[in-house]
Amino acid sequence: MKENFIDIIERFKTLKALVIGDAVLDTYIITKAEKFCREAPVPVFNVHNYKQRCGGAANTAINVAALGAKTYFLSVIGRDENAKHLCEEFRKNKINAQYIIKDKSRTTVAKKRVTASSNILFRIDEGTTSAISKEHETALLKNISDIISDMNVIIISDYEAGLFTDAFISELKNILSLHNVPLIVDAKNISKFASLKPTAVKPNYEEALNALQLEKKNDEARILQLAEQEKKYFEISGASVIASTLDVNGVLFFEKNKPAFHLACTPQNDKNSIGAGDTFTAALALSIAAKATTKTIAELACAAASVVMHKDETAGCSNYELKQYFNPTPKYIFNEEELIKLVQHLRQQNKKIVFTNGCFDILHKGHISLLNNACKAGDVLIVGVNSDASIKKLKGNGRPINTLEDRITVLAGLQSVHYLVSFDEESPLHLIKIIHPDVFVKGGNYTKDSIPEAPLLKKIGCTVQILPYLEEHFTTHIIDKIRYMQKTNVAMPA
């Protein structure tokens, strides 16, 4: 398993991030064309559903929170219905929105997309985009000063809706100079923030052209075009790292005093996917805060954006989804939190859960028989696998023969196994408490009352199935045979 990626993504959960920017409410009006209008030769679209999502900088905050960081969002919004919807989304996504300033004289920015058959027909924009007042500028700066010392990273997300005035940026520079916090800027005009000396900026191709005053080129010619502008790019951005996104042509990364490099991407059918750039920025920022190398930062950011490109509408990438992207054994559940989410999901689907456990050190016919029969006992089979330390406690210093990573990889290849989770204790009692299986399958010469887990299983009302060992098909016997052959060069008698 790529532990370097997994460990860094897990580290996101220890971080605090501050997102400052223009909040937008994305509304999707889902329609269906059912007849033609009498007044004009146009179809009539009947509304079937409304969906509301956070857009703009608010979507960046949603993504930062989904990736696991404790997220604080600062902005100026109105005191209208759109603001209420945004705040409800913040609450649902566990974003700290207490420092947001509400201005009754402003209308919250909103983008309404009318869709039919998963296609966007047109968009209606509304909201105040003029500069915020001096009063609210001062209040916002005070809020930043109050919490900046607790932050691991700061993200500026400028959608040019009036938040980032010249005076605001100038005062923000003074605040930032007192704190050594990584600053990531995602803005339509990156040169506007050059005085802040950001750690990284993330311009897309159109923003890069505007900043560098270049003519548009097509396809892979864009990569060479921007690569030739490296010196100027650093001068106008003031940044140490530039992640220049090129949609289907991937991402071009620049880092001061190091060679630029390009990451390709697999083009996706993204006709209705919105906000992948915000997702990229969120993963970029958290990876920098987690002190990953630049190439790892690039891969994590690209991966997060790729996850979103498979989704419709304004979407995000969760911590779990990003880990699964890098997980060569997707059946493996990394930790207790993810196991709890999985079990909740299975319960919502009314799935009958079966649980069994073992060392599975050297996979053999007895294991296959146990797992096949366990699979037949319900809808989903979750297998608990003893960790290396756990096996050593049970079996002694010579075990395990195969590491947990190897054992998980082999078990994941079995069709009968749906999910795998490891445990460090000698008994999987803690896992059973979390999973509450409907059926518990045990291999060996036990009775239903003699297995160590019997009291707990009885308490939770779990059915127990005992499957006897197949004669001569257990790991210790196989290891003894191998050792006998090594000593005698003769097969051990049955």
Q: Is residue 100 predicted with pLDDT exceeding 70?
A: yes
Neighbours of 310 (CB within 10 A): 13
In the block, tokens 């036990």 appear at 446
| pLDDT at residue 492 is higher than 70 | no
Name the phi and psi angles at 108, rounded to 5: -60, 135
Phi, psi angles (nearest 5°) of residue 120:
-80, 120
Strands 419-423, 332-333: pairing is: parallel
Task: Give the range among 61-65, 316-320, 372-376 with minimum mean pLDDT.
Answer: 316-320
Asked, for residue 414, whether it belongs to a domain, the answer is: yes
Are 350 and 236 members of one domain? Answer: no
To 10 degrees, what angle do helices 57-66 and 276-289 make? 50
CA nearest neighbour of 251 among 273, 228, 226, 231: 226
Residue 153 pLDDT more than 60?
A: yes
Q: How do strand 119-126 and strand 332-333 relate by DSSP bridges?
A: unpaired
Regarding whether 409 and 262 lie in a shared domain, the answer is: no
Task: Calculate the CA 9 to chain-centre distance.
Answer: 8
Q: Could you report the per-residue pLDDT of 115-128, keeping only the tens digit for each? A: 888 788 889 999 99
pLDDT of residue 266: 61
Q: Compute the average pLDDT of residues 453-471.
A: 88
| DSSP calls for 226-271 | HHTTHHHHHHHH--SEEEEE-GGG-EEEEETTEEEEEE-------T
- Give percent of the chain above pLDDT 90: 67
Q: For the segment 10-37, what is each residue's pLDDT rounded down to a tens digit?
A: 999 999 999 999 999 998 898 988 888 8
The two tokens of residue 32 are 């269906």
What residues make up the domain containing 168?
3-325
278 is catalytic: yes
pLDDT tens track for 33-47: 888 888 888 888 889
Of 309, 325, 341, which closes a domain?
325
Please count the structural domains in the chain. 2
Q: 167 and 67: one domain?
A: yes
The β-bridge relationship of strands 332-333 and 183-187 is unpaired
261: pLDDT strictly greater than 70 = yes
Residues 319 and 339 in one domain: no
Identify whether 493 is part of a domain: no
Mean per-residue pLDDT of the chain = 89
Q: What average pLDDT score do residues 218-236 get?
A: 92
| Per-residue pLDDT at 227 exceeds 90 | yes
Beta-carbon neighbour count of residue 370 at 10 Å?
24
264 and 241 within one domain: yes
**Residue 271 pLDDT greater than 50, yes or no:** no
- The share of the chain scoring above pLDDT 70, in percent, equals 92
Q: Specify the higher pLDDT residue, 264 or 1.
A: 264
> Tell me: the pLDDT tens digits for 242-260?
999 998 888 999 999 999 9
Residues 6+ apart with CB under 8 A from 395: 359, 361
Decide: helix, strand or coil at residue 69.
coil
User: What is the model's pLDDT at position 1?
Assistant: 47
Would residue 294 count as lying in a domain?
A: yes
Cα 459-463-466 angle, rounded to 5 deg: 120
Same domain, 268 and 369: no
pLDDT score at 471: 52
Q: Is the pLDDT of residue 265 over 50?
A: yes
pLDDT in tens, 379-407: 999 999 999 999 999 888 878 888 998 99
CATH of the domain at 347: 3.40.50.620
pTM of the entire predicted model: 0.75
* Catalytic position from the list 186, 278, 361, 438: 278
At 224, the pLDDT band (50, 70, 90 cuts) reads: very high
Section 439-454 average pLDDT = 87
Domain boundary, last residue among 296, 325, 354: 325
